[in-house]
Amino acid sequence: MSSPATSSDREKVVSKLPGWLRQNLKVRAAQHGIEIQAAVEQGIRDWCTLASTPPAVDTSGADSFSTFLPPGQWDEFRQVATERRVSLIQGLAQSVQLWLDANPAPHVERPEITRRIIVCNQKGGVGKTAITAGLGEALAEDSDSLHAVRVAKALTEALRASDTQSDEVPGGDDPLSVENLPGLGLRVLLVDFDPQCHLTNQLGAAPLPMNGDSLTNHMAGDPKGDLRDLVVSVDDETFGGRLHLLPACNDAFLLDVRLSAVRAREAALERALAPLEADYDVILVDCPPSLGLSMDAAAYYGRRRPGETLGQSGALIVVQAEDSSADAYELLTTQIDDLRGDLQVDIDYLGIVVNLYDSRRGFIATSSLQGWVDIKDPRVVGLIGDLKEQKEAVRMKRPLLSYAPKSQQAIGMRALAREIV
């Protein structure tokens, strides 16, 4: 059936579609960035012009489906369906399937040069590990499924309205600020570069034994095997085998000492990870709260390589909305700027993530947030609230985006991923 719509150029049509076909249509339309009604319109138009009836589609379990079509198209469709002796439900299902066949899922765009993101801050306890994990998970989510994402304008509104928070990020409870978008589907390696092994433990993996091989050994020029053999998969259907982890080892406490005897020690991390880069689109390094040689090596690894565009790789700085983060930020940026000058390399800042934010902490939090926003370069690219889901995911040793995929923190992680890719 059809009825006049509020728009003067389209009419509302109500029919039925099986749930699986409706979901495929919803995802595919999002992947191509078009409205569902435009896809159905094109599918019906193509179906009506076919020389013969296409194969039948299983419509068992079909339930109500509505859309908007140009005036007269549904009447034409009904006439063609009558001539072909197929029901309207079957004809509509064939039309949708026809559009799906003509518009396959687009291939995931993969960078020519593996992107390297260094998640850092000299201060401990700001949540670098949580951001590394959440960002990596958001980058690796299934591109054939839809996931809730906070749109960019919502971040701006949140930063403006930082004094309106109850127990969520400002603006986080506004359904109009969230869109359902396909996952990014990238191949991601998380590197736990912190001897405290927080990332390794949070994702339920085991730290590497002190008497075995490790990233530290490879950086120090004393490998005991292939580094690839140390990588483990974060086994969760949400990530489809695309998310991997290089676990840490407590021997990283000795890394600075061992690096002191290595030639060209700034490039030690790059030399160690180079054999793995062909397997991944993005490598995220969870850095220790240190300003030593290990941080030099991490920053150098994130430098802009020949042929790489501005902002493809670099440093993502995690802070909190409080004064000590500002002090640590100054120390970190000074170190990176010194490295830039000493080695004549370009190390880009990918942005600032304000983590564990809660405006109920009062003027300190809100004024500090404003201070980060006022920096402008690098700009704030993420605002993540201090909510219970992240802590629960850590306790359960599960990825946040599979443990609580619709939480405000998960939605914010996906927004962050889209801000920097």
Q: For the domain that residue 17 is a member of, what is the CATH number?
A: 1.10.1220
Confidence of residue 354 (pLDDT cuts 50, 70, 90): very high
Which pLDDT tens digit goes with each residue over 78-121? Answer: 999 999 999 999 999 999 999 999 999 999 989 999 999 999 99
Query: Based on the domain organization, do 168 and 283 belong to the same domain?
Result: yes
**Could you tell me the CATH number of the domain that includes residue 348?**
3.40.50.300
Decide which of 78, 102, 126 is a domain's last residue: 102
Question: Whole-angstrom Cα distance, residue 68 to residue 339?
Answer: 58
CB atoms within 10 A of CB 137: 30
pTM reported for the whole predicted model? 0.89
Residue found under tokens 């990332």: 199
- Single-letter amino acid, residue 63: D
Q: Alpha-carbon distance 398 to 383, whole Å? A: 22
Residue 107 domain flag = no
Instruction: Indicate if 98 and 167 belong to the same structural domain.
Output: no
- From the number of C-beta atoms within 10 Å of its C-beta (0-12, 13-18, 19+), residue 419 rates as middle
Range of the domain at 192: 115-420
Total number of domains in the chain? 2
Q: For residue 99, give the 3-state DSSP assignment.
A: helix
**Which of 306, 315, 384, 303 lies closest to 345 in space, CA to CA?**
303
Angle at 33 between CA 156 and CA 101, to 5 degrees: 160
Encoding tokens for residue 25? 């249509």
Whether 331 maps to a domain, the answer reads: yes
Q: How far apart are CA 231 and CA 219, in angstroms?
A: 16
* Distance separating alpha carbons of residues 99 and 87, to the nearest angstrom: 18
Q: How many CB atoms lie within 10 A of CB 8?
A: 8
What are the pLDDT digits (tens) for 265-306? 999 999 999 999 999 999 999 999 888 899 999 999 999 999
Return the percent helix, strand and coil in the chain, to nearest 5. Answer: 45, 15, 40
